[in-house]
Amino acid sequence: MNINWYPGHMKKTKESIKKNLQLVDIIYELLDARIPISSENPDIDSIVGDKPRIVILNKSDLSSHEGNMKWQQYYQNKGISSVLVDSLNNRGLNEVINISNELMKEKKLKLEKKGIKNKPIRAMIVGIPNVGKSTLINSLSGRKGAKTGNRPGITKGNQWIKLKGNLELLDTPGILWPKFEDESVGLNLAFTGAIKDELLDIESLAFKLVERLVETYPQFLEDRYNINVHEKTTYEIVENIAQNRGCIGKGQEIDFTKVSNIIIDDFRKGRIGRITLELP
């Protein structure tokens, strides 16, 4: 599958992040806990430099417990603070605020010595499209300020938002990879919905996902769809899922578009199981 997508507004966003860096004390880097490598922008390290950073592993309720632990250990070894977050159910949000205050402790003391008290901590949130940025912002701020949607590219321009715990947040539009050197990165982003579905062939995507899950989580597939994947081709497995889910059209033909949409949707909503597609 050829996946290559880098709209012009992504370039503008990158320039905007660089420009606004001097306005903030701390960076929130939002990643998808199922694909922390693929959802991390490779330019972020060079853009952010030595600015304090918290890696927020969102959708951690959809990724495996074991995967979550390994990723937290990985960031700890790199000296980067990380938090497991499920922004839909408000899990991990207080920890984000607590770590922010901890990281800014020294700066706050220096300001207090100069007589400046209660100055808000200013943070900037960066992340690829559709990793749950708007939902996270709404949960942190306790309001319905940021537009949300299960489609990439809802956030359009920069906006300051007041958060709990004397924090102010500069939101930025989602920034995607400039290009995908590695096909598996493009696929991971497609599986999780970071790339608009209209740009993809949903049937090929579902086949690739089933292929990956047979290698990594075969039991989940068997349990979810009441099938046996042992010694079967991907085509046969998808065919079995279609039969069990009633995706049969006229003349007993398999409706591959329908079954593909079911598989992708089941994966994205965690119905197949808690799945981590990348480990450190």
Question: Closest Cα to residue 210, out of 189, 240, 244?
Answer: 240
| Residues 146, 135: Cα–Cα separation, whole Å | 8
Residue 250: which residues within 8 A CB-CB, separation 6 or more? none
266 in a labelled binding site: no
| Residues 187, 177: Cα–Cα separation, whole Å | 13
134 in a labelled binding site: yes
58 in a labelled binding site: yes
Q: What are the Cα distances from residue 82, in Å, to 22, 57, 204?
A: 22, 7, 34
201 in a labelled binding site: no
Q: What are phi and psi of 209, to 5 degrees?
A: -65, -45
Q: At 209, list the tokens.
A: 């996902």
135 in a labelled binding site: yes
150 in a labelled binding site: no
59 in a labelled binding site: yes
174 in a labelled binding site: yes
139 in a labelled binding site: no
273 in a labelled binding site: no
49 in a labelled binding site: no
| Residues 116, 111: Cα–Cα separation, whole Å | 5
| Residues 151, 132: Cα–Cα separation, whole Å | 10
What residues form the annotated binding site for GTP? 58-61, 130-135, 174
What residues form the annotated binding site? 58-61, 130-135, 174
